[in-house]
Amino acid sequence: MTVKIGVLASGRGSNLQSIIDSVESGFISGAKIAVVLSDKKDAFALERARKHGIDALHIDPKGYDGREEYDKALLWELKERDVGLVLLAGYMRIVSKTLIKAYKNRMMNIHPALLPSFPGLHAQKQALDYGAKVSGCTVHFVDAEVDHGPIIAQAAVPVHEGDGEDSLSARILEQEHIIYPQAVKWFVEGKIEVEGRRVRIEGVRQAGISVRT
Please identify, using beta-carbon distances, which residue of 15 and 96 lies nearer to ligand GRF. 15
Does 89 bind ligand GRF (CB under 6 A)? Our answer is yes
Please identify, using beta-carbon distances, which residue of 71 and 176 lies nearer to ligand GRF. 176
Does 11 bind ligand GRF (CB under 6 A)? Our answer is yes
Give the Cα separation of 8 and 60 in Å (integer). Answer: 13
Give me the least distance between CB of 202 and ligand GRF, in Å please: 26
CA trace torsion 115, 141, 183, 185 (10° rounding): 180
List of E strands, 73-150: 85-88, 107-111, 134-141
Q: Is 116 exposed, middle or buried (0-12, 13-18, 19+ CB in 10 A)?
A: exposed
Beta partners for residue 139, in sequence order:
110, 153
End-to-end CA, the chain:
39
Beta strands 31-38 and 3-8: pairing type?
parallel
Give me the least distance between CB of 12 and ligand GRF, in Å please: 4
Question: Per the residue annotation, which of 52, 58, 111, 177 is the catalytic one?
Answer: 111
Element (H, E) at 37: strand 31-38
Does 111 bind ligand GRF (CB under 6 A)? Our answer is yes
Give me the least distance between CB of 65 and ligand GRF, in Å please: 27
Chain residue at closest Cβ approach to ligand GRF: 90
- Per the CB < 8 A criterion, the answer to whether 41 and 60 are in contact is yes
Please identify, using beta-carbon distances, which residue of 81 and 122 lies nearer to ligand GRF. 122
Does 114 bind ligand GRF (CB under 6 A)? Our answer is no
Binding residue for ligand GRF, selected from 6, 84, 90, 136, defined by CB under 6 A? 90
Site string for ligand GRF, 180-209 (x = CB under 6 A): ------------------------------
Active site residue 148: no
Give me the least distance between CB of 195 and ligand GRF, in Å please: 25
Tell me which residue of 212, 157, 208, 153 sits closest to 185, measured CA to CA.
153
Please identify, using beta-carbon distances, which residue of 5 and 76 lies nearer to ligand GRF. 5
With vertex at residue 35, the alpha carbon angle to CA 149 and CA 182, rounded to the nearest 5 degrees, is 50
Does 176 bind ligand GRF (CB under 6 A)? Our answer is yes
Can you give the C-alpha Rg of the chain in angstroms? 17
Binding site for ligand GRF (CB under 6 A): 9, 11-15, 89-90, 110-112, 137, 173, 176
Q: Which residues are the active-site residues?
A: 111
